[in-house]
Each structure stands twice: as C-alpha cells, then as structure tokens.
Amino acid sequence: MPATGFKKLDIEAIISLFEEHYGNLTPFLNFNNAFQLLIAVILSAQCTDKRVNVITTDLFKHYVKPSDLAKRNLEDFEKEIKTCGMFHNKAKNLIETSKILADKFNNAVPRDFNILIGLPGIGRKSANVILGTYFNEERMPVDTHVFRVANRIGIAHAKTVEKTEEALTEIIPKNFWMKFHMWLINHGRIYCKAKNPNCPECFVKDYCDYYGNM
C-alpha cells in the first residue's frame, strides 16, 4: 500500500469519479505556442488564470517569439501586465528569459526540465506545466490548488509542494498525471475551496480525510 495510506481501489474510484465529472479538461491558460505558454505560466503566479487570459489576449498580438519580447523596454512592458500581481518581478523575469531563449536557444523553448528551471521566473511547477501541457510529457505540476486538495483528501500527507508531487506520482498511474493535476485544480475551484469548502456537495467526500474528520 502506498505511503499515503490510500488503497489502490480507493485511488481507482477517485480517478473514475473525476473522469466521470470532469473528463478531458482543456488547458486553463490560453496560448498559441510554447513561448506564449511560458509567458502565461509566469504571469499566473499568484494571479487567476482568468485574469492572465485577459492580459495575454492583447500581449500575444505583439509577442509571438522570444526575440519580440527580449527587446522590449522594461517600464513599458510593466504597464502592459500591471493588472497582474507582482508585475514588476514578472516583467523583469519575462524579458530576461526572452533574451536567454533568443540568444542561446534560437528563439525556442527547450524541452528540458533542468534548463527550464534555470530560467528566470520558472520553477518546478511551471516547468512541469510547460512540459506536460505543450510537450505532452507525463508530469505532475503541483500548484496551490493541487497541494491543498491532494492533502485535504488524504492522497498526500505532505508539508511541501515537492513532497506532494512525490506522493502523487507514487500513487497515481503515470498516464493520468496531467489529467489528475487538472482535475484537482478544477475541484479546488468548484468544491474544495481554500475557505468554506462545499463538502456536502462534493462527489469524492466518501474518500476524503477532511470530510471524514469533520
């Protein structure tokens, strides 16, 4: 039995319920290529996907490849993304990352986890999102929703994002990693909210530690 304490049959039941209710979700962030996904992912830190998609609707008309953004004036670019949280740091990181991609990677986003996490503004979760969403790799990105929901249900019992990722990749079949990541995000937005989770209406409550201990 996995370290989380969940039985294989419980996980299979939860996967089945998520698949029944959510099916194949499309990416929450809008993008047309790998670079634009990278932009959206960096902007999404402590900012809603809905807000990011509003911002990128105009951005993507002007920034199609890294060299388009690499030459942009920092203060001018800040004004373009100022409705997004932490826009000063995000603007700086996006321009610096664009310069690196333009100069060292021929305007391409590398399909390499270790290279990606070395880029300004890209951490483990962001790299996993890019590789899983655009390059169709089996990845388990863990954001605040995934961290909260996985630990509330009891699929993971971890105090850090990395440990949560380890727990989920241990117990969830690999071919479901990206789906499960998106299901948990969706579930966190609809039912398992940070405040006042809607436990009575939740369709996985019978498998949930949090609900069982209420």
The predicted-structure confidence for 55-65, as pLDDT tens digits, reads as follows 999 999 999 99
CB-facing half-sphere around the CA of 114: CA atoms within 13 A: 0
The CA distance from 43 to 36, in Å, is 11
Are 96 and 106 in contact by the 8 Å Cβ rule? The answer is: no
Looking at domain 8-25+139-212, does it have CATH number 1.10.1670.10? Answer: yes
- Residue 116 confidence (pLDDT) above 50: yes
- Would you please indicate which residues are annotated as catalytic (active-site) residues? 125, 143
Instruction: Give the pLDDT score at 6.
Output: 64
Instruction: Give the pLDDT score at 2.
Output: 41
- CA dihedral over 202, 205, 210, 212, signed as positive or negative: positive
Tokens for 45?
Answer: 């830190």
Class of domain 34-133: mainly alpha
Instruction: Give the pLDDT score at 214.
Output: 75
Does residue 87 or residue 5 have the better pLDDT? 87
The CA distance from 162 to 164, in Å, is 5
- CA distances 101 to 35, 94, 122, 182, Å, are 9, 10, 13, 28
pLDDT in tens, 162-192: 999 999 999 999 999 999 999 999 999 999 9
The CA distance from 199 to 111, in Å, is 39
As annotated, the residues of the chain forming the CATH 1.10.340.30 domain(s) are 34-133
Instruction: Give the pLDDT score at 213.
Output: 84
As annotated, the residues of the chain forming the CATH 1.10.1670.10 domain(s) are 8-25+139-212
- For 204-214, b where at least 16 C-beta lie within 10 A, e where not — what string? bbebbbbbeee
Mean pLDDT within 73-87:
96
- Residue 93 confidence (pLDDT) above 80: yes
